[in-house]
Amino acid sequence: MYSLFMNAEKLLLPAGLKEGDHVLEVGCGPGFFTLPSAEIVGDKGFIYAIDINPFAIRKVEKKIAKAGVKNVKTMIVDVTETTLKDSIIDIAFFFGVIHSLHSIIDRVVLEMHRILKDEGLISIQKSVKFKDGLVDIITQNNKFKFIEEKKRMFVFQKIK
Ligand SMILES: C[S@@+](CC[C@H](N)C(=O)[O-])C[C@H]1O[C@@H](n2cnc3c(N)ncnc32)[C@H](O)[C@@H]1O
Is residue 79 predicted with pLDDT exceeding 80? yes
pLDDT in tens, 109-118: 999 999 999 9
Is residue 4 predicted with pLDDT exceeding 70? no
111 CB within 6 A, ligand 1: no
Ligand 1 centroid to Cα of residue 110, in Å, is 18
Is residue 155 predicted with pLDDT exceeding 90? yes
Q: What is the reported pLDDT for 30?
A: 96
Report CA dihedral (110, 115, 121, 125) to the nearest 10 degrees: -60
Of residues 130 and 136, more confidently modeled: 136
Q: What is the reported pLDDT for 132?
A: 73
50 CB within 6 A, ligand 1: yes
Q: Which of 34, 4, 33, 11 is nearest to 150 (CA)?
A: 11
Q: Whose CA is nearest to atom 25 of ligand 1?
A: 53
Taking residues 27-51, what's their average pLDDT?
97
Q: What is the reported pLDDT for 89?
A: 98
Read off the pLDDT band of 54 (50, 70, 90): very high
The pTM of this model reads 0.96
Read off the pLDDT band of 151 (50, 70, 90): confident
Taking residues 127-134, what's their average pLDDT?
78
User: Is residue 31 within 8 Å of 25, Cβ to Cβ?
Assistant: no
* Chain mean pLDDT for the chain: 94
Taking residues 124-146, what's their average pLDDT?
89
* CATH fold of the domain at 2-158: Rossmann fold (3.40.50)
User: Is residue 152 within 8 Å of 125, Cβ to Cβ?
Assistant: yes
Taking residues 21-35, what's their average pLDDT?
97
Ligand 1 centroid to Cα of residue 48, in Å, is 14
